[in-house]
Amino acid sequence: MADNQTMAKIQKKVISTIAELSGKDKEELTPDTSLMHDLNLDSLALFEIVIELESYYHLRISDEEIEALRTIKEIVDFIDEQLRHKKLPGSKEA
């Protein structure tokens, strides 16, 4: 698990991206916010969010992984895990 500061930065970026692309107020968004149920985002909106986050963090997120990400916390945890894997010793992407 990443340190709290790193997780806070990831969460801030995820929330700002979702707010910007969904038209929702940042203050409405919490780690437990459900993208589909609470925000009523459709799959197209979800893909737009993912594309923005992939670009920002230089990640690839598969369709299957996208479907499994239901809350803001799940997105933050997923990005944190992917970034930690990229930084492992011997990684070509580090």
For residue 77, being part of any structural domain is answered with: yes
**Number of Cβ within a 10 Å radius of residue 44:** 8
Q: Which two tokens stand for residue 17?
A: 């991206």
Quote the number of domains for the chain: 1
Q: Which two tokens stand for residue 60?
A: 């690839």
For residue 70, being part of any structural domain is answered with: yes
One digit per residue, the tens of pLDDT, for the chain of length 94 reads: 457 889 999 999 999 999 999 999 999 999 999 999 999 999 899 999 999 999 999 999 998 999 899 999 999 999 999 998 876 554 444 3
Domain carrying residue 39: 4-21+30-86
Side chain identity at residue 25, one-letter code: D
**Kind and range of the H or E run holding 41:** none
For residue 62, being part of any structural domain is answered with: yes
For residue 92, being part of any structural domain is answered with: no
For residue 93, being part of any structural domain is answered with: no
User: Can you state the angle between helices 43-57 and 4-22, rounded to 10 degrees?
Assistant: 140
CATH assignment of the domain containing 12: 1.10.1200.10
Which residue, among 28, 61, 29, has the nearest Cα to 47 in the 3D structure? 61
For residue 94, being part of any structural domain is answered with: no
